[in-house]
């Protein structure tokens, strides 16, 4: 363990002695975070995302929803239960929720209840008049008059998401990926300079070296995340909804995955130049395709399919769900299970294929 600790200290010194590393890893993403957070703060809720639960399907209710959905800035999502509808309103995923016919089976009667947070003035000014207008239009088509239209509002506390709230959890994971992959370049450089070859003739074992190397980059990732969280709290008044311990666990899992990927790439790439090109190919498109700066469901289907292959997409989704909405980990059992399997496979392969020196031509 003493030798692993020496490797840990050595790689920390290598990292922090390079001013370019400090600027790029700590301050470049912080700059993007602040710029996007300040300039695009109000762009996340341009559309009115509404959900509805229709307990009794009547012709009037169906036509009402159809006409309401024609509004250009309205997106309607159907829910199979009242509880799931209210839960998404509370989590800030919907501007409001609409429940239709909660207790009546009379064809000429509509009971409508609207759920929303009173702090979101947009839905208060829009939804009730919109529902009234849609009811009138549906009556005209059916050529009948409703005996009763009841529209009630129920105020519930919800978590309002700003654009910064959306990007921040994903940006934490994206920054972890950058450090993990850049660590692979460090190994390539040390191997090219034959520094690793010199370590081969010492009593240092392979597992001791990789343990020291991995923990050094793990420490850097944790420090970076602490720095970003501090900026988010100070500048944007950001707060986590989920447990800090669970969030730390996600950070550690993500860090180990991308550290292992960095080691694996360094084992198979022939030169520093090729490694740099490969890392740029993996990381640069991921910022725009993996749901870091924009919701992934706004992308074309084929692009969504490609993005879902990247582990960054899934880790960012888990982090966002826990950090912003306080979702329990059991909601991501399959995703986390797959990420753990991926970690074990990549870690085992990266250890097995690790080389002290470059391949002979």
Angle at 43 between CA 316 and CA 170, to 5 degrees: 10
Same domain, 295 and 331: yes
Q: Report if residue 22 sits inside a domain.
A: yes
Domain holding 54, by residue range, is 48-155
Same domain, 247 and 286: yes
Q: Report if residue 80 sits inside a domain.
A: yes
Q: Report if residue 69 sits inside a domain.
A: yes
List the single range of 12-16, 28-32, 56-60, 184-188 with lowest mean pLDDT: 56-60
Tally Cβ neighbours within 10 Å of residue 331.
Answer: 13
Compute the distance between CA of residue 220 and CA of residue 329 in angstroms, rounded to an integer: 25
Segment of 125-139, 300-314, 334-348 carrying the highest mean pLDDT: 334-348
* CB distance 112 to 60 below 8 Å: no
pTM for the model: 0.70
Is the confidence at residue 144, as pLDDT, over 70? Answer: no
SS (H, E, C) 236-262: HCCCCCCCHHHHHHHHHHHHHHHHHHH
Write down the pLDDT at residue 43: 47
Length of the chain: 361
Tens-digit pLDDT profile for residues 271-312? 787 888 888 888 878 888 888 887 776 677 888 888 888 999
Same domain, 122 and 196: no
201 or 353: which leads in pLDDT: 353
List the single range of 27-31, 83-87, 349-353 with lowest mean pLDDT: 27-31
Compute the distance between CA of residue 21 and CA of residue 17 in angstroms, rounded to an integer: 8
Percent of the chain scoring above 70 in pLDDT: 78
Write down the pLDDT at residue 103: 46
Q: Report if residue 135 sits inside a domain.
A: yes
Compute the distance between CA of residue 277 and CA of residue 176 in angstroms, rounded to an integer: 19
Write down the pLDDT at residue 120: 59
Q: Report if residue 151 sits inside a domain.
A: yes
Same domain, 198 and 308: yes
Q: Report if residue 191 sits inside a domain.
A: yes
245 or 292: which leads in pLDDT: 245
Same domain, 148 and 217: no
DSSP lists the bridge partners of residue 40 as none
Q: Report if residue 361 sits inside a domain.
A: no
DSSP lists the bridge partners of residue 144 as none
Compute the distance between CA of residue 190 and CA of residue 196 in angstroms, rounded to an integer: 6
Residue 160: pLDDT band (50, 70, 90) is low
Q: Out of 98, 126, 155, pick the residue that ends a domain.
A: 155
Same domain, 118 and 197: no
Is the confidence at residue 324, as pLDDT, over 90? Answer: no
Q: Out of 155, 180, 213, pick the residue that ends a domain.
A: 155
Kindly compute the dihedral angle of the four CA atoms of residues 339, 340, 343, 344, in this order, to the nearest 10 degrees: -150
Same domain, 236 and 314: yes
List the single range of 53-62, 96-105, 247-256, 304-313 with lowest mean pLDDT: 96-105
Domain count, the chain: 2
Write down the pLDDT at residue 169: 92
Compute the distance between CA of residue 156 and CA of residue 149 in angstroms, rounded to an integer: 23
Residue 135: pLDDT band (50, 70, 90) is low
Same domain, 219 and 333: yes
Write down the pLDDT at residue 202: 82
Q: Out of 121, 155, 189, pick the residue that ends a domain.
A: 155
Distances from the Cα of 59 to the Cα of 56, 66, 105, angstroms: 10, 11, 11
Is the confidence at residue 246, as pLDDT, over 50? Answer: yes
Q: Report if residue 167 sits inside a domain.
A: yes
Write down the pLDDT at residue 189: 86
Same domain, 149 and 113: yes
The overall average pLDDT reported for the chain is 79
What sign does the dihedral 190-192-195-199 (CA atoms) show?
Answer: positive
Residue 258: pLDDT band (50, 70, 90) is very high
Write down the pLDDT at residue 349: 94
């Amino acid at each position: 363990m003493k030798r692993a600790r020496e490797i840990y200290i050595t790689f920390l010194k290598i990292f922090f002695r390079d001013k370019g590393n400090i600027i790029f890893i700590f301050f470049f993403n912080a700059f993007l975070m602040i710029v996007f957070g300040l300039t695009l703060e109000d762009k996340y809720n341009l559309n009115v995302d509404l959900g509805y639960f229709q307990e009794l399907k009547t012709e009037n209710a169906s036509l009402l929803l159809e006409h309401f959905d024609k509004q250009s800035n309205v997106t309607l999502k159907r829910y199979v239960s009242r509880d799931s509808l209210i839960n998404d309103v509370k989590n800030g995923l919907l501007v409001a929720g609409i429940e239709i016919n909660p207790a009546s089976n009379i064809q000429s009667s509509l009971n409508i209840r609207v759920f929303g947070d009173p702090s979101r003035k947009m839905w208060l000014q829009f939804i009730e008049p919109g529902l009234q207008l849609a009811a009138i239009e549906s009556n005209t088509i059916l050529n009948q008059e409703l005996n009763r239209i009841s529209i009630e509002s129920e105020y519930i506390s919800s978590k309002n998401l700003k654009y910064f709230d959306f990007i921040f959890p994903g940006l934490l994971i994206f920054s972890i990926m950058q450090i993990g992959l850049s660590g692979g370049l460090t190994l390539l450089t040390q191997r090219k300079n034959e520094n690793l070859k010199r370590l081969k003739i010492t009593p240092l074992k392979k597992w001791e070296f990789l343990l020291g190397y991995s923990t050094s980059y793990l420490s850097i990732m944790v420090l970076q995340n602490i720095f970003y969280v501090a900026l988010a709290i100070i500048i944007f008044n950001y707060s986590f909804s989920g447990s800090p311990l669970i969030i730390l666990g996600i950070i550690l899992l993500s860090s180990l995955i991308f550290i292992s990927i960095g080691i694996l790439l360094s084992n198979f790439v022939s030169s520093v130049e090729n490694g740099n090109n490969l890392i740029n190919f993996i990381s640069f498109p991921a910022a725009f395709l993996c749901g870091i700066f924009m919701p992934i469901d706004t992308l074309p289907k084929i692009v969504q399919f490609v993005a879902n292959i990247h582990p960054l997409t899934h880790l960012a989704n888990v982090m966002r769900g826990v950090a912003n909405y306080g979702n329990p980990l059991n909601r991501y059992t399959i995703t986390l299970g797959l990420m753990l399997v991926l970690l074990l496979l990549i870690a085992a392969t990266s250890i097995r294929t690790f080389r002290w020196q470059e391949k002979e031509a």
